Structures are given as C-alpha cells and as structure tokens.
Amino acid sequence: MEHRERSLREKPTAAARRASPAAHEALIRARCRATLTESGALDRITEVLDFELLDSPDRPSYRPKTIKWGNKVFLLNQELRCRVSAEDSLWVVEYKPLGIRACGSSQEDAVAEFNEEFAMLWDEYRHAPDSSLTRDAIALKRRLTDLVREVSVE
C-alpha cells in the first residue's frame, strides 16, 4: 500500500507516460484526503490514499455464458456483457437488453440477484401465450428464447 500511495503522488516520468497504455475513464472507489466547505460539501481532493477499480470498458466484471439459479442451469448462446457498478452502498449488475437491474450489498449478492431475476423472467415469459402478452413483453420473450440454448434441471 505504501508504494501505491507514493506512486499516486509522484508525477510519472516522460518514459513512464510513453510506456503506459492509453488512458480511459473508469468507475473507481477511492479513499482520499479532502478539504470540505463549511457546509460539509466536498471542496477538493488533496490526496488519493487508495482506490479500487469497480468497472471499466476493457474489464467487464460479469460476463456469464451460463446462469444458475436454484436447480436450473441456463446455457446461453452468447456471453452476456453485464455492466457492474457501485451506487451509494450497493453493487449493481445490469443487462439493458433484458431490462435486468439487480442490486446487492456485495458484488456476489448483486450477481445472485441478477441470476434470480433472469430465472424469474424465463419462468414468467417463456411459456406464456403471445396473446396474453403486450408487444414489449413478446419482444422480451423472443430475446430470452434467442439467448437461451438449453435449460437443465439439477
């Protein structure tokens, strides 16, 4: 940790800047020293003590090809590229094409909630007759059936 703190405060050399990969934005959780206004609002960050990478475009955190919930195992035709982020004190796993947004107090809890919501969507829509569904629900059912190759029960 001491090396990491020191390296964040020191300016990189020109050679180090040339050797490092291209910079990109990423979501991080940081422990910092900061000055606050009289009202308690953040004025400025004076020192970064430590940080944790939560999500970045080149490092998705949850990319399942198989989803397991309860006694069901869903084998998918393609890997899902879920967005994982931290909001307030919760972890969030999101897959917009299916409208799934799952939260948990840890990343593992959010993934478990995601898997449960996926299984619930499957159970709700897979065998529902199209005549009982709205146009959006029929589209969601088709996305699910196109995505799932096989469901097995353990």
Task: Look up residue 70 and give its two tokens.
Answer: 């309860």
Give dist(CA 98, CA 30) in Å, integer: 31
Largest CA distance in the chain: 66
For the residues 128-145, what does the mean pLDDT come to?
Answer: 95
pLDDT of residue 49: 79
**Which residue ranges make up each domain of the chain?**
1-58, 60-154
User: How high is the mean pLDDT of the chain?
Assistant: 82
Tell me the whole-structure pTM to 2 decimals: 0.62
Taking only the tens place, the pLDDT of each residue in 69-123 is 999 999 999 999 898 887 888 889 999 999 999 999 988 899 999 999 999 999 9
Question: Quick check: 45 pLDDT over 50?
Answer: yes
> Chain-centre distance of CA 10, in angstroms?
31
Instruction: Between 55 and 3, name the one with better pLDDT.
Output: 55
Task: Please tell me the distance from the alpha carbon of residue 32 to that of residue 50, in angstroms, as a whole number.
Answer: 7
Query: By percentage, how much of the chain surpasses pLDDT 70?
Result: 75
Q: How far apart are CA 70 and CA 36, in angstroms?
A: 48
C-alpha torsion sign, points 118, 123, 129, 133: negative
At residue 9's C-alpha, the angle toward residues 7 and 10, to 5°, is: 65
